[in-house]
Amino acid sequence: MITETGRRNAVKVLFVDDEFIEFRALKKKIADLSEPAVEVEYSPSIGDALEKIRLERFDLILLDNRLLPNADFRETVPELRGIGYTGPIGVVSTDISGGYFQEFPDYGVDFRIGKDEIDAQTLQHIIREYVTYDVPDFWKDDYSI
């Protein structure tokens, strides 16, 4: 059994998108996610995101592919890495079929995902794959028997 005091703090996600409606949609999609607890914060621009990252710790960044005045992730992700952010960064876009998306590892991107693919289960999978957090005991196999 897990007690509230035994749980790690919530996984902190920074969602960077110039369309606030996308943030609202994300919050609705992941409202049912209970494990792990997730706190999502919003930034409307890369400049705002850089300020927030300098002030607090985020476990994961979901970054819109196109943020003005930058062209795409090939400009924005190096800015995030340039200030010392070492956590996972996922590029989110309505269309991830462009050939340049194949270059994402070269720019410090951990994964790419379509906006229509994000839901509670997908975010949970991303957190398990890219973010270190305490797994509840009931998820762990007992090999001591």
3-state SS record for 68-100: CCCCCHHHHHHHHHHCCCCCCEEEEECCCCCHH
Instruction: Please tell me the total count of domains within the chain.
Output: 1
Bigger pLDDT: 117 or 52?
A: 52
Q: Does residue 143 fall inside a structural domain?
A: no
How far, in Å, CA of 63 to CA of 76, rounded? 9
Q: Residue 142 has what pLDDT?
A: 46
pTM here is 0.81
Structure letter (DSSP) for residue 45: S
Residue 82 lies in a domain: yes
**Domain-located, residue 97:** yes
Tens digits of per-residue pLDDT, 123-145?
888 988 898 655 555 544 444 44
Residue 4 lies in a domain: no
The strand pair at 60-64 and 11-16 is best described as parallel
CATH number of the domain encompassing residue 108: 3.40.50.2300
Domain that holds residue 34: 11-131
* Max CA distance (Å), the chain: 58
